[in-house]
Amino acid sequence: MNSIRGNLESIRAKIAEAAERAGREPSDVTLIAVSKKKSAAAVKEAFTCGQQVFGENYVQEAADKIDVLQELRPRISWHFIGHLQRNKAKRAVELFDFIETVDSLKLLRALSRHALSAGSVMPVLLQVNIAGEASKAGMAPEDLVLFIDTMLEDKPEGVDVQGLMILPPWNPDPEASRPWFAMARSLMEGLSERYGSDLHLRHLSMGMSGDFQVAVEEGATLVRVGTAIFGARS
């Protein structure tokens, strides 16, 4: 079985190759090591191999892990990448450095309120249900303009909307994800053109263990890779 160090080296090399194929700089892509269901010891091992950004799906599981690894802050950064309930927004603001899964104005407002109380600004992404799957969270692509128009009218402080996050339909063939990734990139480009300086969108979070190279080729700036780094989850 490959080691975490070896896995990370292989993934970084593949990200660099994919970026170069697309005429991009590898440094424009951030690897998020998805550590859900993995131990704090595994996270620490990845950290000692140079990995600094980690993604968690569950607030309580993350809280336990983050507490154990508190001495690594601020060198380690935590992204929340799971479905976030409003009643956990305050705790999420306390724990995380980035929240990628904002899917409603009510959640955005709750995060804004708690971040303001903490004297901080929380970077967030808008989660888009790109294929309209009933099993997945996120807003429909056609609802984004209304969402953003309302958000800009609200002028919520305490949050910084930096882009979009998507999860395409699962398919064992990485190429099957390409149209969805291209659609997400086109969607963000259209929003950037529409809103100009009112909304500085610069991140596309997309791509996982099976398709992150395709995602990088299609414009991902954040890729969320778990099993290819840590192995299968129990």
Any idea what the CATH number is for the domain that residue 98 is in? 3.20.20.10
| C-beta separation of 59 from 68 below 8 A | no
Range of the domain at 171: 4-230
β partners of residue 164: 126, 204
E strand or H helix at 15, and its extent? helix 4-21
Tokens matching residue 131:
């294929």
Give per-residue pLDDT as tens, 156-179: 899 999 999 999 999 999 999 999
Nearest Cα to Cα of residue 168 among 158, 160, 178, 159 = 178
Give per-residue pLDDT as tens, 79-98: 999 999 999 999 999 999 99
Give per-residue pLDDT as tens, 169-228: 999 999 999 999 999 999 999 999 999 999 999 999 999 999 999 999 999 999 999 999
Cα–Cα distance measured from residue 24 to residue 90, given in angstroms and rounded to the nearest whole number: 37
User: How many structural domains are present in the chain?
Assistant: 1
Query: How confident is the model at residue 129, as a pLDDT?
Result: 97
Give per-residue pLDDT as tens, 100-132: 999 999 999 999 999 999 999 999 999 999 999
Which amino acid does the sequence have at 109? R
Q: Counting beta carbons within 10 angstroms of the beta carbon of residue 52, is it exposed (0 to 12), middle (13 to 18) or buried (19 or more)?
A: middle
β partners of residue 159: 122
Nearest Cα to Cα of residue 14 among 231, 230, 211 = 211
| C-beta separation of 17 from 29 below 8 A | no
